[in-house]
Structure 1
């Protein structure tokens, strides 16, 4: 008797079996037989198996469905309808299929992501073949745990939009930060956005990785990032907005060649915060939002990078650091420490980091009026 003939007999027996115990045992036996002889199973036998088992599977205990899902999870010719049915079952049944089954296609996974629990999404995020469409859906519907799992999946393919979503979420959810920064495929401009909210250790990693980038690679990455930001800003911008008095003041100073570090320090001392922010932004080449992030960094390291890259001298940097500190004062030891930090930052490393921080400002200049 061939395996196919034996399987057919068992299927007929299963369809006729009335007792729940008998169905349970037959279903286990047929599942094992199908898996063990899957290389010999033809399309018709596979359809018969899926049809009969699919009708009966919810009449048996979860333990039996778990066994069925586990055995089918590694087969590339398992019946598609049966696999998708079980993948939508309770998580204890669906787990092996969601994480492993080669039968589940992108469309199947995206439907599951949209309709099922976060536990289902978590299993999908661990798959070895997560492509951009699936990752996009996970980023849209997943909670922090799902996004962290996705970030840790080195084989997952992330679109720029999904990478940006993960980076943005990492500001509030710190466990996302390290797996994102250590990924090989995350755009450096997005990694450099994270500088303002990650730990000292991760900041050092960002600076080291940025310094090691090839210059031509940096140019290409910035061009791509700038194009993406231009599209976003063009959608959001309003070209008819009247410049503020502070912006007009700084523009005039720039035209008169009077915009420099001493002026910016003096504006801060006088408490003219709007003019100071506009002046600091213009002096460093940063957009207002990024300039605010630099000035809000309590470690003063971001300020040191911005000043070093922009040619702001040590004395003016220390004045800015003192005046922007939490209480507006720094003792002698603090001043010594931040000046030492400023002096130890290589100019080329600071300038390369600033190229990424400036990308949004550069993109804004490319938006047609």
Structure 2
């Protein structure tokens, strides 16, 4: 141990102990990955003994640095997790050093502010989430219901349904989960609007996949977070904002189509598919399918998004919905054919590279040989 630390330890004053805590913490943080388990255990013991005199700033810095470290000594991780929530938050939210048993213990003993942080963890077991649901208050329930990275037990789901009768936010978060059981869906039906009822009935009937449910939840979050920016009538500016928000072209197309902005969807498609807007509009409105398919493929539309576009087109033009289904089936075949063609070209290119023989030394061009 450096002499400066030994000197501080020998002083024995509160100020010296505070400085000792800060310097030992900094020493650990600076070379954390290089420390042996034995060294970490010794430093951990010193830090725990000095913890009560450490300043909030130094404790928070230590918590932040140790938050994602796998080799954080468990005793130190637990000590920090029990600190004021403003200090403990980063470590409590993600530390792999905390076990599920640790988390259950914290749920039983710590404040609802701590529980709000724990409820956001992506590694919660059903046992931990059950404990959080039982102990937590309304904000904790909302966070837990909105955590779609974990699986909630049937009992917790049904208890949330009861709370959801008087809590609209909880109800919305609960309805967007992809692990809803048919029993939970049936319990929610009397509480929700017609659109949500339709979705819940689809889950009951097994017609919505997890990916579809996740997309519904994602679009709802995007609509809430993107807010008024979505109303921009300039598709160039809107796409620029969407890219900054990490919204894909498929997601933005769906949002526009859901809002009935069919002409704006065509504008976006023409820009992303590098097709003249007038030509694409003519193709869409006059049934020139080939140009629409090529543009959609260039824009990167997946089949479900194109299917929605084709359906909205039928509604907009007041033509039979069967034409939308035909366009979608043709588009799927077009994508498959395009993918096969690209793969074949790639294979031919690789084959040509392998077959190409090196030129003999004596066959150099005359100009070079003459030099």
The TM-score normalised by the length of structure 2 is 0.52
Alpha-carbon spacing, 1:203–1:11, altered in 2? closer, same or farther (3 Å): farther
3-state SS in 2 of match to 1:77 = coil
Q: What is aligned with 1:49?
A: 43
Deviations 1:76-96 (A, max 9, x none): 111111111111111112211
Alpha-carbon spacing, 1:59–1:104, altered in 2? closer, same or farther (3 Å): same
Q: What is aligned with 1:188?
A: 182
Q: What is aligned with 2:145?
A: 151
Mapped contact 2:24–2:47 kept (Cα < 8 A):
no
Q: Once the 2 structures are TM-superposed, how far is the Cα of residue 204 of structure 1 from its aligned partner?
A: 3.1
Deviations 1:247-303 (A, max 9, x none): xxxxxxxxxxxxxxxxxxxxxxxxxxxxxxxxxxxxxxxxxxxxxxxxxxxxxxxxx
CA RMSD of aligned residues (A): 2.4
3-state SS in 2 of match to 1:58 = helix
Question: Does structure 1 residue 30 correspond to structure 2 residue 24?
Answer: yes
Structure 2 residues without counterparts, runs of 5 or longer: 209-371
- 5 Å-filtered alignment, 1:188-207, equals 188-207=182-201
Mapped contact 2:92–2:117 kept (Cα < 8 A):
yes
Deviations 1:34-57 (A, max 9, x none): 233222212221111111111111
Match of 2:91 among 97, 105, 118: 97
Match of 2:170 among 154, 173, 176: 176
Equivalences, count: 209
Q: What is aligned with 1:127?
A: 121
**Cα separation, 1, equivalents of 2:202 and 2:141:** 26
3-state SS in 2 of match to 1:175 = helix
Q: What is aligned with 2:158?
A: 164
**Cα separation, 2, equivalents of 1:136 and 1:11:** 46
The TM-score normalised by the length of structure 1 is 0.52
Deviations 1:171-216 (A, max 9, x none): 22221112211111121221121011123332233234445538xx
Q: What is aligned with 2:108?
A: 114
Structure 1 residues without counterparts, runs of 5 or longer: 1-6, 215-369
Question: Does structure 1 residue 137 correspond to structure 2 residue 137?
Answer: no
Alpha-carbon spacing, 1:39–1:168, altered in 2? closer, same or farther (3 Å): same
**Cα separation, 1, equivalents of 2:4 and 2:130:** 43
